[in-house]
Structure 1
Amino acid sequence: MPRSAPLRSLVRFALAVTPVGLALACSPDADPPAASSLVVGLQGDELRTLLSEVTVSTKVDGKVAKEERITRDANGIIPFPRELVLEGAPGAKVEVEVVGTGTTFGSTASAELVRRRAVTVIPREKRLLRLALEGACVVAPGTSAAVCTGDTCRGGRCVSPDVPEAALEPYATDWPVNQPDICRPANAGAPEVVLGKGQTDYGNLTDGETLRLERGPQGGHHLWVALRMKNIKQAGTRTLITAVQPGTGLKATPAAFVFGFEPDEGGYCKLYGLRFQVDAGGALGEAHKPFLGKDLDITIEVTDVAGRTARATKRVHVADKLLCPDGTEACNGS
């Protein structure tokens, strides 16, 4: 008996949609997520001679993943920094516990001195979990110092061990010298530096501005240089000042400083009170004179411990008269 028209239409519809249904069932979206990795970066330079052993225990989704025992090297120190790579499905719970042991206060028995915990997840892409063993968290055996039961110690305080995925740093091979700080936060942009002036604070400096050489108490002659920067590390950064007189090529003696920066507004950090002596190494009383009344191109270059560099140059005009130590111009001509 021939099929009815409605039945034939239903069969054709079923045949048409069945491959689609199969395709949806077999879609890659239904596959389990690919494995990712989390790098545990362990630091502890300030404790490398105090500790005799460090143990690292890790779990992924409640199961023991990796364990490592770190002992002193041939130089008698714990070889920090260290890396431990954990792998798993994104979102899997990760637990890390680090325990440092050693002897102290004349005792020959080894005891736990410091402990650090962290709880996070396997990230969607390779990330860094930075853990530091700090001197501020050392608890001497037999003392009444508080132990962070259930929490962890950071900066000498008991805090939660939870580290959200958003707080994990992008992994980079230079992570030991690349720790975010207030001047260079995580996911920082390109380094910037702005040349300024000032002895007691940062002041803006415009191109062509007139600055006065000051005579110091030992007879040298200097300008007060300041700067603002961002996306460069706060500590350990080298600041180099150079200057050349346009037209003549006369150069001032370069000066380098390694000073910490202060936080400033707008995400910048500042440094001021840099004494830039133009006649250092020259004949005092004479070497500064060719700079008076002339233009000078001053360049500031900052380089942090990770090798990030920024520089800026401004042309200033050096006044034809000195500012004397007593705040007057009485020393001119002497």
Structure 2
Amino acid sequence: MTGSTPAAGIVVLLAFAPGCAGGDEPPAQGIAELGTGEWQFEPLADGQEVELAHGAQGGWHLWTSVRTLGLEPEGVLLEVTTTVIDDPASATTSRGRIKLTEREDGRCEFIGWPAVLGEPACAIGQPLRIRAVVTDARGAVASGERLVRPRWDSDEACARRPQGAQDVD
């Protein structure tokens, strides 16, 4: 994959609510839409293939972006967990503080979060659950998940997969 091609990501949950911050009272739960994008937001559907990106430190990840409704844009904690469905031990979580950018349509977004995979060769072609939890400084939470299938053009072997085993098409 080249740096000029947006990498794949994930869609989690989408609904409609008034505005980015919602109103005077903190909402019990906000709304999150997780999609692809290193440079721009692109939604994905359950079951869609997503391309893995090679990280600067040698790891592999899926570029993800998030849009929210009902959350304040400052002091936001983003937590993204990737898990191969048939291998719960594969769960890998990355988290960090982000600042959401307000959009003209009332939603907020963050572009370009690297959702890490612990052993990417074992995820190729397998159903992968991406779960995102977004919490603002007031404690309002938005979360959701999507099932995707990672794609990667590499001959690297999965250490846990027996020699000669095939990826699922």
TM-score (structure 1 length as normaliser): 0.38
Unaligned runs of 5+ in 2: 1-18, 157-169
How much has 1:217 moved relative to structure 2? 3.1
Q: 1:242-253 alignment to 2 at 5 Å?
A: 242-253=81-92
Aligned to 1:233: 72
Aligned to 2:155: 333
Query: What is the alpha-carbon distance in structure 1 between the residues aligned to residue 141 and residue 22 of structure 2?
Result: 16
Query: What is the alpha-carbon distance in structure 2 between the residues aligned to residue 240 and residue 211 of structure 1?
Result: 19
- 2:36 is the alignment partner of 1:197: yes
How much has 1:265 moved relative to structure 2? 4.3
- 2:124 is the alignment partner of 1:292: yes
Q: Which runs of 4+ in 1 moved over 3 A?
A: 187-190
How much has 1:333 moved relative to structure 2? 2.5
Letter in 1 for 2:155: G
How much has 1:251 moved relative to structure 2? 2.6
Q: Is the 8 A contact 2:54 2:60 kept in 1?
A: yes
Query: What is the alpha-carbon distance in structure 2 between the residues aligned to residue 205 and residue 265 of structure 1?
Result: 22
Query: What is the alpha-carbon distance in structure 2 between the residues aligned to residue 192 and residue 306 of structure 1?
Result: 15
Letter in 1 for 2:77: R
Query: What is the alpha-carbon distance in structure 2 between the residues aligned to residue 216 and residue 186 of structure 1?
Result: 39
Aligned to 1:183: 20
Q: Deviations 1:246-277 (Å, cap 9, x if unpaired)?
A: 12324332001211111124321111100112
Query: What is the alpha-carbon distance in structure 2 between the residues aligned to residue 274 and residue 263 of structure 1?
Result: 17
In structure 1, which of residues 238, 262, 269 is the aligned counterpart of residue 101 of structure 2?
Answer: 262
What secondary structure is seen at the aligned counterpart in 2 of 1:254? strand
Q: Count the aligned residue pairs.
A: 136
Question: 1 or 2, which has the higher helix percentage?
Answer: 1
How much has 1:198 moved relative to structure 2? 0.4
> Are the structure 2 counterparts of residues 205 and 265 from structure 1 closer, same or farther at C-alpha, using a change threshold of 3 Å?
farther
Query: What is the alpha-carbon distance in structure 1 between the residues aligned to residue 41 and residue 106 of structure 2?
Result: 15
Aligned to 2:10: none
Q: Is the 8 A contact 2:82 2:115 kept in 1?
A: no
Greater gyration radius: 1
Query: What is the alpha-carbon distance in structure 1 between the residues aligned to residue 85 and residue 104 of structure 2?
Result: 34
What secondary structure is seen at the aligned counterpart in 1 of 2:122? helix
Aligned to 1:301: 133
Q: Deviations 1:30-73 (Å, cap 9, x if unpaired)?
A: xxxxxxxxxxxxxxxxxxxxxxxxxxxxxxxxxxxxxxxxxxxx
Aligned to 1:17: none
Aligned to 2:145: 313
Q: CA RMSD, aligned part only?
A: 1.9
Q: Deviations 1:98-119 (Å, cap 9, x if unpaired)?
A: xxxxxxxxxxxxxxxxxxxxxx
Query: What is the alpha-carbon distance in structure 2 between the residues aligned to residue 239 and residue 278 of structure 1?
Result: 16
Q: Is the 8 A contact 2:83 2:92 kept in 1?
A: no
